[in-house]
Amino acid sequence: MFNPQDLLRPHLKALVPYSSARDDYKGSEGVFLDANENPIGSITEADWNRYPDPYQKALKEKIGEIKAVDSSQIFLGNGSDEPIDLLFRAFCEPGVDNVIINPPTYGMYKVSANINGVEAKEVLLTPDYDLDEDEILEAVNDHTKMIFICSPNNPTGNDVSLEKIEQVLTSFSGIVVVDEAYIDFADRPSFTTKLDQFPNLVVLQTFSKAWGLAALRLGMAFCSNELLAILNKIKAPYNLSGLTQQTVLEALSQTEKKDSMVKTILENREALKERLSALELVQRVYPTDANFFLVTIPNARQVYEEMIDKKVILRDRSKVALCEDGIRITVGTKDENDALIAALKEL
């Protein structure tokens, strides 16, 4: 039986978490003289003088409805960066434990590992950018606490094989993090539907991409109640601002606006794919399940720099493992995509 307590760093087992001023009284009516807030108001037009809900209950209820996940299985953080960092801090002893990542992939897993003094073992994706599940399981040792899988994967764009993710979830006794930052652009169900089947699963999603809220910094982690309790125990008490909680709660009554933006981006994606593929300069346009393309262009670094001179900013991935001559291109608006193609034609 998977029990996250068995993976927890020893000094956290006995940790007494910070108890916030509002932990003993849950009502909203009362004379609140417990948190040293300014009782008069704020310097801003709207009042933000009271501390926000540390567990973001109203927002989680709403997200739970939209995602069809019980709100007791939702952690909200300051971007996905926060749950990624908290997972390292909860489970990985610096200099002792390790995690496995699958390059070419999202850079933050390794950075977070490095910040926390934890080794990130690299098991490359296969040449067609799928999981190498045998090599992953081969790389596991007694100190491997987590495996990070990004799908749809950044920077390659593709979903990795869902069967292989399930094999890793079944065969590995530690935590498997499935990062679904781009799930809204993919044509498949989320791994949140498998939370009850896999107690060692953590699914990451974000409001930074499809929802268009990157500046608010709001990331989600979906996991078992036991894993959630551990994240809640070590997070900063008021990790999400009241402004973020209120703004997103209001915005979530307009999910159709998100759906319509995603539809437009998917249409633009298909049009852009045709236009990129037709360019002589572009060697290869990789298939994508996300809102970006990985393309290969000879002398990618030089092309990237010449495009900057034309004020079209792309993401140079040409030095990344398995991405030789690779450039990552976000699907923009129609006008932006026109500007991209025009600039590429001028090279």
Ligand X SMILES: *Cc1c(COP(=O)(O)O)cnc(C)c1O
Binding site for ligand X (CB under 6 A): 79-81, 106, 150, 154, 179, 181, 206, 208-209, 214, 219
For 266, other C-beta atoms within 10 Å of its C-beta total: 15
Residue type, 330: T
Residue 7 or residue 149: which is nearer to ligand X going by CB?
A: 149
Please report how close the Cβ of residue 159 comes to ligand X at its closest, in angstroms: 12
Residue 221 or residue 297: which is nearer to ligand X going by CB?
A: 221
Please report how close the Cβ of residue 73 comes to ligand X at its closest, in angstroms: 18
For 58, other C-beta atoms within 10 Å of its C-beta total: 13
Residue 97 or residue 179: which is nearer to ligand X going by CB?
A: 179
Please report how close the Cβ of residue 266 comes to ligand X at its closest, in angstroms: 17
What secondary structure letter does DSSP report for 193?
G
Pairing of strands 74-77, 292-296: unpaired
From the number of C-beta atoms within 10 Å of its C-beta (0-12, 13-18, 19+), residue 46 rates as exposed
**317 close to 155: Cβ distance less than 8 angstroms:** yes
Give the residue carrying structure tokens 């934890």.
118
Closest residue to ligand X in the complex (CB) = 79
Residue 4 or residue 157: which is nearer to ligand X going by CB?
A: 157
Please report how close the Cβ of residue 207 comes to ligand X at its closest, in angstroms: 7
For 222, other C-beta atoms within 10 Å of its C-beta total: 26
What secondary structure letter does DSSP report for 38?
-
Residue 9 or residue 157: which is nearer to ligand X going by CB?
A: 157
Please report how close the Cβ of residue 133 comes to ligand X at its closest, in angstroms: 20
